[in-house]
Structure 1
Amino acid sequence: MSIKYKLGNYRSKLRSAGCNEVSINRKRGGDGASAVKEAKRGEVNYMPDHPKGQSDDSLEEERLILVEEMKKKTKNEVLINQKMSLTFSLRGKEIVEVVPMVSEVLERWPAVFLPNELCDEFKRITSVDLLKTFRASIHQHTPQLLKLYRARKGAFGTEMEDLLNKLDQQTTNIVTHRKQTVLEGLPIFLREDSSALFKTCLDKTPEDRQTRGMKVGILIIIEDDATPTTLPSVTKFAVVLEEVIVLKDAPDLQSALAYLFGLLFALDFEDPKQLKYTFEVIEKGDGHSLFC
């Protein structure tokens, strides 16, 4: 109890001093309702204070410079990274307090959706290397998960069996296809709707039809000229939030899922309820593991 009161007094002092991270977690409203922004698992820096000497107005000027740089055909990546790092506190405050739509964030902070900048943003929030950790974990768990899928495929109907049969027909890039099968099979194994996370569509399908009804998910875009006797060829993977393609041309499914996971943190996005266990498996760990 002594420690509890000591920490409570410490938080009160921080709140009085204007510490954003503490202020955002206080109870607000006359009815006593709690408007608490809870950190995700492993999130260690979600509401930082502004850098010394900076204010909302000065950081807004830096944001405008960043937006103008993003409009150029030849972008200065060093400048973009510097401005993204400098405006991190303003971006976090806006996302947590205002809760903007994804389309608004895309307009005001377009650099967040660049793969390299997204990885840097995730590291600012969690101190974890997004792609390196994600890929290493998938590489580690792929053999065991495939064994589980094959051992219990009869319990999941034809969906899991079809997925494994498609893997057995592959003759090239076997390692990549094994990892893709593990990811596509995870919601099936956890008895959730895999179509809520992964959607396959033809490359010539209009974009608005591709993303219709997708709040959080990944598009697997395939060629539409494949013959009935051949497996369709994937042309690209894309990340979708709120029916908007926010990141295109991911090289493989594991990268696309890592980027999606990173955006959920960067945009303070809630995990989809119909995929609760899938995202829990990805997130669960000691705060330093994305897939365990």
Structure 2
Amino acid sequence: MDKNLQMIERLMQTTYALRRKQIIADNPSQSVKDLLENWPALRIESQVCAEFHRITNINLRSKFYAELDKHTPRLLAVYWQKAARTGKTAEALRSIFSAYDLLEQCDVNHRRTAALRALPVFLCEDDSAFFRTWNTEKESEPDIADLAVGLLTMVNEDPSSPVQFSPARIAIVLEGDIVLNDLSYLADAFLMLLGLMYALNICYPKKLIHTFHFIQKVIMGLDDFKPLTPRLLNLKNDLLGRV
């Protein structure tokens, strides 16, 4: 049965204050599964974006894509500078760019994927738990039971390059549960994950705290009145051409 999205939007708008009270004040430790059972509309992409707008008064899709696209050329240039050096971070960046160089680089989705996939690597964060892969032809179930927050890239064959460049689909995982599972590109997945984090009051993964603070503060312009760490401030200054 098709969803009546207009009715869902009206009901979600009407119950917004009740929902925020329940999530933030009444039971902030409530599980994601329970929250989504109470508010199943937050499994719908359009309602994730709508909820983010209710909370921040910012259009999630347009702001995220516009700012990411604005910063991507400089981000890629900064990554390349680091990739030319020695060390594990440089080697990991070169691996990402070796795959990117084989793709059609005028494709905006490839550029966005490179900018986002290389971001935690550049920031020297451990993303091994956050990015998971599921070969749907070889594995009946994904290995996500221990995953609190992450992105699951589904592939139909053994990948010969970083899988985020050529996914069959990408899913968002919260507390071991697939919440959204039909996303086409890595940028879409990051965008929806950010929206869900705000909607469900979810903390950023500790091992990727710099990555998500960069997306929050630099890409989305959402200030929490805490100063940027030196690592993020240096990257922001690089993007803005400041010394």
With structure 1 as the length reference, what TM-score do the two structures score? 0.69
Alignment partner, residue 117 of structure 1:
47
Alignment partner, residue 59 of structure 2:
129
Equivalent residue in structure 1 for 2:27, among 78, 94, 98? 98
Change (3 A) 1:263 1:181: same
Query: Whole-Å Cα distance in 2 between the matches of residues 289 and 194 of structure 1?
Result: 23
Query: Whole-Å Cα distance in 2 between the matches of residues 254 and 225 of structure 1?
Result: 22
- Quick check: 1:277 aligned with 2:197? no
SS at match of 1:213: coil
Query: Whole-Å Cα distance in 2 between the matches of residues 140 and 151 of structure 1?
Result: 19
Alignment partner, residue 206 of structure 1:
140
Read off the aligned partner of 2:54 and give its amino acid letter: R
Alignment partner, residue 190 of structure 2:
257
Equivalent residue in structure 2 for 1:150, among 80, 88, 97? 80
Change (3 A) 1:287 1:177: closer
SS at match of 2:178: strand
> How big is each residue's C-alpha offset from its partner over 1:118-174, in whole Å with a ceiling of 9 and x where there is no partner?
100000000000011000111001100111111111341421111000001114763
Alignment of 1:10-49 (within 5 A): none
Alignment partner, residue 70 of structure 2:
140
The CA deviation at 1:289 is 5.1
Read off the aligned partner of 2:140 and give its amino acid letter: P
Instruction: Confirm or deny: 8 A CA contact 1:81 1:117 kept in the other structure.
Output: yes
Query: Whole-Å Cα distance in 2 between the matches of residues 141 and 200 of structure 1?
Result: 27
SS at match of 2:118: helix
Instruction: Confirm or deny: 8 A CA contact 1:223 1:233 kept in the other structure.
Output: no
Equivalent residue in structure 2 for 1:87, among 15, 19, 25? 15
The CA deviation at 1:220 is 1.5
Query: Whole-Å Cα distance in 1 between the matches of residues 61 and 132 of structure 2?
Result: 22
Name structure 2 gaps, 5 residues minimum: 224-235, 237-243
Alignment partner, residue 237 of structure 1:
170
Read off the aligned partner of 1:139 and give its amino acid letter: D
Specify the structure having the higher radius of gyration (Cα). 1
Instruction: Confirm or deny: 8 A CA contact 2:171 2:183 kept in the other structure.
Output: yes
SS at match of 2:62: helix
- Quick check: 1:182 aligned with 2:115? yes
Change (3 A) 1:287 1:140: closer
> How big is each residue's C-alpha offset from its partner over 1:177-202, in whole Å with a ceiling of 9 and x where there is no partner?
12101101100000001223322221
Q: Higher mean Cα deviation, 168-177 or 150-159?
A: 168-177
Equivalent residue in structure 2 for 1:165, among 86, 90, 98? 98
SS at match of 1:103: helix
Name structure 1 gaps, 5 residues minimum: 1-72
The CA deviation at 1:75 is 1.6
Percent pairwise identity: 34
Instruction: Confirm or deny: 8 A CA contact 2:82 2:90 kept in the other structure.
Output: no
Instruction: Confirm or deny: 8 A CA contact 1:283 1:289 kept in the other structure.
Output: yes
Query: Whole-Å Cα distance in 2 between the matches of residues 86 and 76 of structure 1?
Result: 16
Read off the aligned partner of 1:206 and give its amino acid letter: S
The CA deviation at 1:286 is 10
Query: Whole-Å Cα distance in 2 between the matches of residues 160 and 249 of structure 1?
Result: 27
Runs of 4+ in 1 over 3 A off after TM superposition: 171-174, 285-290
Aligned length: 218
Read off the aligned partner of 2:80 and give its amino acid letter: R
The CA deviation at 1:287 is 7.2
Alignment partner, residue 246 of structure 1:
179
Change (3 A) 1:75 1:272: same
